[in-house]
Amino acid sequence: MNCTRLQQVLDAHIDGELDRATTGEITAHLTECASCAALREQRSALRQALRAHAPYFKAPAALAPTIQRSLDRAMAESAAKLQSSATGRNAGLSWLHATALASVAALAGLIAGYWLAQPLPDYPLRDPAVASHVAALAPTRQLIQVASSDRHTVKPWFQGKIDFAPPVKDLAGDGYVLIGGRLDQVADKPAAAVVYQVRKHVINLFVWRATDKAPNSPAADPTANSNTDVTAAIATASVRGFSVTTWAAGGLRFAAVSDVDGRDLTRFAQLVSAP
DSSP label of 59 = P
Query: Taking CB under 8 A as the rule, does residue 86 contact another protein?
Result: no
CB 206 within 8 A of CB 138: no
Q: Which is nearer to another protein, 61 or 117 (CB)?
A: 61
Q: Indicate the residue type of 215.
A: P
Q: Pick out residues in 134-153 that bind another protein (CB under 8 A).
A: 152
Give the shortest CB-251-to-another protein separation in angstroms.
Answer: 12
Torsion of CA 247, 249, 253, 257, to 10 degrees: -40
For residues 12 and 18, the answer to whether their CB atoms sit within 8 Å is yes
Name the helix (H) or strand (E) containing 67: helix 63-88
Residue 9 binds Zn ion, judged by CB under 5 A = no
Binding of another protein by 221 (CB under 8 A)? yes
Phi, psi angle pair for 223, to nearest 5°: -80, -20
Length of the chain equals 275
By CB under 8 A, is residue 59 in contact with another protein? yes
239 and 126 in contact (C-beta within 8 Å)?
A: yes
49 binds, among Zn ion, another protein, none (CB under 5 to 8 A by kind): another protein
By beta-carbon proximity to another protein, the closer residue of 60 and 275 is 60
Q: What track of x and - describes contact with Zn ion for positions 31 through 50 (by CB under 5 A)?
A: --x--x--------------
Give the shortest CB-37-to-Zn ion separation in angstroms: 8
Angle (CA) 137-141-143 rounded to 5° is: 55
Interaction of residue 61 with another protein, rule CB under 8 A: no
Under the rule (CB under 8 A), what is the footprint of another protein?
8-12, 15, 17, 42-43, 45-47, 49-60, 63-64, 66-67, 70-71, 74-75, 79, 152, 156-157, 159-164, 213, 215-216, 219-224
